Amino acid sequence: MFSRDTWKEIFEAIRKNKLRTFLTGFTVALGILIFVTLFGMGNGLNNTFMKFFGDDATNILRLFPSQTTIPYGGYKAKRQIEFKNEDLEDINKNFAALIDYITPRISRTVLVTYKEESDNYNTRAVAPGHQFSEKTIIMKGRYINETDLAERTKYAVIGRLIERDLFQDEDPIGKYIDVGGSAFKVVGVFQDDGGDNEERYMYIPYTTRQLLEGNNDKVDQIIVAFNQSIGYAGALQFENKLDEFMRKKKVISPDDPRGIFIQNVADDLKRNQQFAGVLQLIISGIAFAVIISGVIGISNIMLFVVKERTKEIGIRKAMGATPGRITGTIMLESIFITAIFGFVGMIVGIIILNGIQGETLEENYFITKPAINTGTAVFVTILLIVCGSIAAYVPARRAAKIKPIVALRDE
Amino acid sequence: MIEIKDLHKSYKMGSNSLHVLKGINFTCEDGELVAIMGSSGSGKSTLLNILGMLDGADSGEYILDGVPIKDLNETKAAQYRNKFLGFVFQSFNLINYKNALENVALPLYYQRVGRKERQEKALNYLERVGLKEWATHLPSELSGGQKQRVAIARAMAAEPKVLLADEPTGALDSKTSYEVMDLIQKINDEGNTILVVTHEEDIAHMCKRIVHLRDGVIVEDKKIEQVRAESYVQ
The yes-or-no verdict on residue A1 having pLDDT over 60 is: no
Q: How many whole angstroms separate alpha carbon A147 and alpha carbon A234?
A: 33
C-alpha distance from residue A399 to each of A202, A311, A326, A394, B22 (Å): 76, 10, 9, 9, 30
Q: How many whole angstroms separate alpha carbon A350 and alpha carbon A32?
A: 10
The mean per-residue pLDDT over the stretch B109-121 comes to: 90
- The per-residue pLDDT for range A130-187, each reduced to its tens digit, is 988 888 889 999 999 999 999 999 999 999 999 988 998 889 999 999 998 899 999 9
Chain B nearest C-alpha distance from A319 (Å): 5
Amino acid at A301: I
Higher pLDDT, A299 or A140: A140
pLDDT of residue A132: 87
Q: How many whole angstroms separate alpha carbon A361 and alpha carbon A220?
A: 38
For residue B161, give every residue at least 6 positions away whose Cβ sits within 8 Å of its Cβ, in sequence order, or none: B1, B64, B65, B83, B84, B85, B193
Test mutation, B50, B95, B136, chain A, max A CBs within 10 A: B95
Q: Binning pLDDT at 50, 70 and 90, where does residue A332 land?
A: confident
The yes-or-no verdict on residue A383 having pLDDT over 60 is: yes
CA B222 to centroid of chain Cα atoms: 20
Chain A nearest C-alpha distance from B94 (Å): 8
* Count of domains forming chain B: 1
The yes-or-no verdict on residue B196 having pLDDT over 90 is: yes
Which of A6-15, A261-270, B41-50, B141-150 has the highest mean predicted lDDT (pLDDT)? Answer: B141-150
**% chain A with pLDDT above 70:** 96
Instruction: Write down the mean pLDDT value for chain A.
Output: 85
**Residue B93 CB neighbour total at 10 angstroms:** 22
Torsion from C-alpha of A69, A74, A76, A81, nearest 10 degrees:
-60
B219 is in which domain, residue-wise?
2-232
Check if B160 contacts A (Cβ < 8 Å). no
Q: Binning pLDDT at 50, 70 and 90, where does residue A410 land?
A: low
- The per-residue pLDDT for range B31-81, each reduced to its tens digit, is 999 999 988 888 888 898 899 888 888 889 999 988 888 877 888 888 888
The yes-or-no verdict on residue A6 having pLDDT over 70 is: yes
CB spacing of A316 vs B106 below 8 angstroms: yes
The yes-or-no verdict on residue A228 having pLDDT over 80 is: no
The mean per-residue pLDDT over the stretch B86-115 comes to: 90
Lowest mean pLDDT among A18-22, B21-25, B141-145, B209-213: A18-22
Check if B119 contacts A (Cβ < 8 Å). no
Test mutation, B11, B81, B164, chain A, max A CBs within 10 A: B81
A199 DSSP assignment: G
Higher pLDDT, A29 or A297: A29
Q: Binning pLDDT at 50, 70 and 90, where does residue B12 land?
A: confident
Residues of A in CB contact (< 8 Å) with B are 4-5, 8-9, 12-13, 16-17, 311-312, 314-325, 400-401, 403-405, 408
Higher pLDDT, A124 or A364: A124
- The per-residue pLDDT for range A34-74, each reduced to its tens digit, is 888 888 888 888 777 777 666 667 788 899 999 999 888 88
pTM of the full structure: 0.67
CB spacing of B107 vs A408 below 8 angstroms: no
pLDDT of residue B100: 93
- The per-residue pLDDT for range A103-120, each reduced to its tens digit, is 999 999 999 999 888 899
Point out the residue among B81, B98, B115 whose CB comes nearest to the CB of A320: B81
Tell me which chain A residues have a C-beta less than 8 angstroms from the C-beta of B82.
319-321
Chain A nearest C-alpha distance from B163 (Å): 12
The mean per-residue pLDDT over the stretch B118-134 comes to: 92
Check if B226 contacts A (Cβ < 8 Å). no
Higher pLDDT, A115 or A405: A115
The mean per-residue pLDDT over the stretch A332-353 comes to: 88
Instruction: Write down the mean pLDDT value for chain B.
Output: 90
pLDDT of residue A227: 85
The yes-or-no verdict on residue A22 having pLDDT over 80 is: yes
Chain A nearest C-alpha distance from B48 (Å): 11
Point out the residue among A314, A315, A323 whose CB comes nearest to the CB of B75: A323
Q: Coil, strand, or helix at residue A138?
A: strand
Kindly identify which residue of chain B lies nearest to residue A401, measuring between CA atoms.
Answer: B74
**% chain B with pLDDT above 90:** 49
Per-residue exposure over A277-293, b if at least 16 CB sit within 10 Å of its own CB, e if not: eeebeebeeebeebbee
pLDDT of residue A38: 84
The yes-or-no verdict on residue A411 having pLDDT over 80 is: no
Check if B106 contacts A (Cβ < 8 Å). yes
CB spacing of A312 vs B106 below 8 angstroms: no
The yes-or-no verdict on residue A20 having pLDDT over 90 is: no
Q: Binning pLDDT at 50, 70 and 90, where does residue A223 land?
A: very high
For residue B100, give every residue at least 6 positions away whose Cβ sits within 8 Å of its Cβ, in sequence order, or none: B126, B131, B134, B135, B136, B137, B138, B139, B142, B150, B153
Q: Binning pLDDT at 50, 70 and 90, where does residue A209 land?
A: very high
Kindly identify which residue of chain A lies nearest to residue B94, measuring between CA atoms.
Answer: A315
Lowest mean pLDDT among A11-20, A114-123, A196-205: A11-20
Check if B43 contacts A (Cβ < 8 Å). no
Check if B111 contacts A (Cβ < 8 Å). yes
CB spacing of A314 vs B78 below 8 angstroms: no
Tell me which chain B residues have a C-beta less than 8 angstroms from the C-beta of A8.
115
Report the CATH number at residue B223: 3.40.50.300
Cβ-Cβ contacts under 8 Å between A and B: the total is 72
